[in-house]
Chains A and B, each alone.
Chain A
Amino acid sequence: MLFGGIFRTEQLPIEATEVSVISGEAFAALMAAQDSPTSQSEVAQPAQPVADSEAVDVPAPETTPEQETPESAPAPSADDTPDVSELTPLPDAEVSDAAPVLPTPEPEVTVDAPETSETPVPQTSVRVAPEAVIAPDPEARPDPVEQDAVQQAETGETVAEPQEETAPEEAATEIVTEAEKPAAAPEKSLRPPPRRPTRRAVQAAEASEPAAEPLALEQSGSSAVDDALAETLGQVTETPSAPSGPPLSAGEKDALRVAVQDCWNVGSLSSLALETTVVVAVSLTQDGKPVVSSIRQVGSEGGTSASVKQAFEAARRAIIRCGVRGFQLPSDKYDQWKDIEMTFNPERMRIK
């Protein structure tokens, strides 16, 4: 009675199927009447997977639900192609009593392939500069001018004035936002190492290896033209048309430009100041140090008077900071660089 309400003894419905018996001849005739399936020799190839176009801002049809783009199918390797060669008839067997000699195994050819994809990781740093700089030695004081440490000799005789080691600060070439930092998780599953290349594939690779000689010849030829060009340019620059003394070479001017831009910090400038170009004049002493009182603004373009002031202050700081030890300029060309006009154009440094 206790379980009577749970375990009821109702009769379950029974399904009945009618079965008819036919003869073997009738069955054979029935099967023959059906068409046999035609064999399909070629299977329709799937559509070529579309490459992931995440970076392209093309408006996708909004009614289409987002789908994961399948990964590109791996291209078939050379190993997948079977080696085909005509079989030669077997020679007659020669029977000898000599013990067989085991063939020397060939050295195993291995191919080292990275197990995971090496996605380039953007370098992040508090400082953004035109050239990336790896983290310097922690002992080194951050300074635009790199110097080795000079310490007192044990004998007590100082060979050179003691100097603290300095090194450029760590820098990245671009601002990396959090959204651009790659996730720590691997983007692809580990792939098995590739199969050993066959002897035929190795031979083919060796045969197709480009020779280095023509490239070397091309380089030497290019160098010869450059030498001739430099020689010609040198002759021209030595022409007496310059007002006083030889002008600075392009390399010397580049060095000066790099020296100043390393100290031109636009990080604290307003967006309006980053749209302002200022021209700053400065006079240098013979040892390449800027005369602070000579630094003046001689022109500007864009922005407001306030943003021009901010831009000029940043430019002035750059000249003074990086010129504190004197710019590296050829002393024999002092007349050419004693007065300089620097145009500070922040167009490339704007927030975009």
Chain B
Amino acid sequence: MMVRIFTTLMALMMTATFSLAQQGPLRIEITEGVIEPLPFATPNFVAENGSSAEMGVQLTRVVAADLQNTGLFREIPATAYISSVTDFGSAIQYPDWKAINAQALVTGAVNVSGNNLTVKFRLYDIFSGAELGNGLQFQGTTEGWRRMAHKVADAVYSRITGESGYFDSRVVFVSETGPKNKRQKRLAVMDYDGAGVKYLTDSRSLVLAPRFSPTGDRVLYTSYETGFPRIYVLDVGSVQRRLLESGEGSISFAPRFSPNGQTVVYSQATGSNTDIYTMDVASGRSTRLTSAPSIETAPSYSPDGNNIVFESDRSGAQQLYIMSANGGEAKRISFGQGRYGTPVWSPRGDLVAFTKQSKGRFHIGVMRVDGSEERLLTASFLDEGPTWSPNGRVIMFHRETQGAGGRSTLYSVDITGRNLRPVRTPEGGSDPSWSPLQK
């Protein structure tokens, strides 16, 4: 009873205080919102001449698919449109788009002249009744029409979300065919969405773990061409490669570039011991970073190049550690049940993605670099090999199904754990590595 009397008095005092304080406008605080895809409309880009019509439709579809595949946007079907856009320069009928609950409108125009392609677009905030940013125009060749569509989508994504896009990027991966006991593997590169696959090697020798350079023009990978794993650097444009020499009588694997592209960090096994080394790409001079009798592997640089996250079984089970890029004492960051491996540092620098094996299942997860806030995003028979999108918002990995006929497929998932979706490739795929945004 005393409590209620006290509460009553406090309420009276607060009310009286509030009454005196409310001299200005009414003030409220909103702390809970909703998370749902933002509805947008993308009428087919206007064809500025007769030969542009088909290109306009194709380009519009790629832009819409890019946005919709993020899970952050929802395309309103064209059948719901009240008004149409037949002229790129005409005024927008905002009430018509507002009526179908479109919150963003992307309009564009396409002009094909010989081998030249010009694409321009505008983005409108329907409920503000204004254009969001200025219109942009891209010029290129008709062969590069998908890249131009990705660039339009990147610009739209960036203006609405406030963070850079990731559509005009590529993924290098291991293309797989055949049954598990006789699987043929070769390196391939594709657009982030699985289109435009090109093969970089043949399937005569086993290849593993391709990794893009920070500029996206080179790929590091491990090949068993000589019977032992060796690290090669491949120029994506010319498809020329060269061997990165390592110590005699040793096996080297799991390479990854430093953020400046001048150093490669990798694992080297000598006898029964595996340690982490760096190699200067220009001089070929290598430096040993760890010297524990345990297995240290899967190193990955932080975006600033000052630290390296790696996996080690030095404590008896496979866990994640962070050390200085120059070596030295390592700090353990994973403490959960199960085994942790293949850590990859986020391009934003705040998270580490990893593979976790626990209770017979594999997970792709993320944690902060201090090991806190671990979140498992996926769960399956075998999920492995995470790689970050250039903006650090999406993780791609590969998932293998059970059984002798099991197939390995690339998947992507948002870091919130939503929007898990397969990446369609002509054959099976594993070991993806995402490039930076193309220039």
Please list the residues of chain A having a beta carbon within 8 angstroms of any beta carbon in chain B.
Answer: 54, 57-60, 62-63, 66, 126-130, 142, 169, 171, 175-181, 225, 228-229, 232-233, 236-237, 239, 241-243, 247-248, 253, 256-257, 260-273, 281, 292, 306-307, 309-310, 313, 315-318, 320-321, 324, 336-337, 339-349, 351-352
Contact = CB atoms under 8 A, between A and B. Distances in A.
Contacts of B161: 268-270, 273, 310
Contact of B25 (A59, A60, A129, A339): A339
Given A57-B335, A247-B22, A268 B73 contact: yes
B282 interface: no
Given A267-B72, A273-B161, A351-B415, 20 more contacts: A128-B35, A128-B36, A129-B35, A176-B417, A177-B417, A179-B376, A179-B379, A243-B22, A247-B22, A253-B26, A256-B28, A261-B31, A264-B34, A265-B36, A266-B34, A268-B160, A271-B348, A321-B103, A342-B29, A345-B30
5 contacts: A127-B34, A179-B363, A265-B35, A267-B72, A307-B162
A272 B33 contact: no
A266 B35 contact: yes
Nearest to B313: A62
B78 interface: no
Contacts of B162: 269-270, 272-273, 306-307, 309-310
Contact of A237 (B19, B317, B336, B416): B19
Contact of A177 (B8, B15, B129, B375): B375
Given A247-B22, A342-B30, A127 B15 contact: no
A225 B4 CA distance: 8
Nearest to B128: A316
Interface residues of B, number: 68
Secondary structure dominating the interface of B: loop
A127 B335 CA distance: 33
Contact of A261 (B34, B363, B374): B34
B34 A177 contact: no
The 10 closest A-B pairs by CB, nearest first: A177-B417, A264-B33, A310-B162, A179-B376, A62-B316, A339-B25, A270-B163, A127-B36, A128-B35, A267-B35
Contacts of B28: 253, 256-257, 260, 340-343
B15 A236 contact: yes
Given A261-B34, A265-B33, A179 B377 contact: yes
Contact of B26 (A54, A58, A341, A349): A341
Given A307-B162, A309-B162, A310-B162, A178 B19 contact: no
Interface in B412-427: 413, 415-418, 420
B315 A62 contact: yes
B377 A178 contact: yes
A177 B30 contact: no
B398 to A, nearest CB: 15
Contacts of B417: 175-180
Given A127-B36, A177-B375, A272-B163, A257 B15 contact: no
A126 B163 contact: no
B316 A313 contact: no
B420 A63 contact: no
Contact of A242 (B19, B33, B363, B375): B19
A169 B101 CA distance: 13
B35 A336 contact: no
A340 B29 CA distance: 11
A306 B132 CA distance: 13
A236 B26 contact: no
B373 interface: yes
Contacts of A179: 363, 365, 376-379, 417
A312 to B, nearest CB: 10
B379 to A, nearest CB: 4
Contacts of B26: 248, 253, 336-337, 339-341
Interface in B64-122: 72-74, 98, 101, 103
Interface in B300-323: 315-317, 319
Contacts of B37: 126, 267-268
B251 interface: no
Contacts of A176: 417
Interface-centre pick from B11, B32, B379 (highest chain A CB count, 10 A): B32
Contacts of A316: 127-128
B373 to A, nearest CB: 6
A333 B72 CA distance: 39
B62 to A, nearest CB: 20
A345 B31 contact: yes
B38 interface: yes
Interface in B375-391: 375-380
B125 interface: yes
A320 B336 CA distance: 46
Contacts of B337: 54, 57, 60, 66
Contacts of B125: 313, 317
A320 B128 contact: yes
B16 interface: yes
B30 A264 contact: yes
A156 B373 CA distance: 62
B23 interface: yes
B13 to A, nearest CB: 10
Contacts of A271: 163, 348
A239 B29 CA distance: 25
A127 B375 CA distance: 20
B12 interface: yes
A331 to B, nearest CB: 15
A58 B32 CA distance: 32
A148 to B, nearest CB: 20
B24 interface: yes
A257 B27 CA distance: 10
A169 B363 CA distance: 31
B20 interface: yes
Contacts of B348: 271
Interface string B42-75: 0000000000000000000000000000001110
A341 B27 contact: yes
Given A171-B34, A267-B72, A243 B127 contact: no
B315 A175 contact: no
B33 A281 contact: no
Nearest to B360: A66
A285 B338 CA distance: 60
A239 B375 CA distance: 52
Interface string B156-170: 000011110000000
A228 B11 CA distance: 12
B25 A281 contact: yes
B432 to A, nearest CB: 18
A197 B16 CA distance: 60
Greatest chain B CB density within 10 A among A178, A247, A344 is at: A178
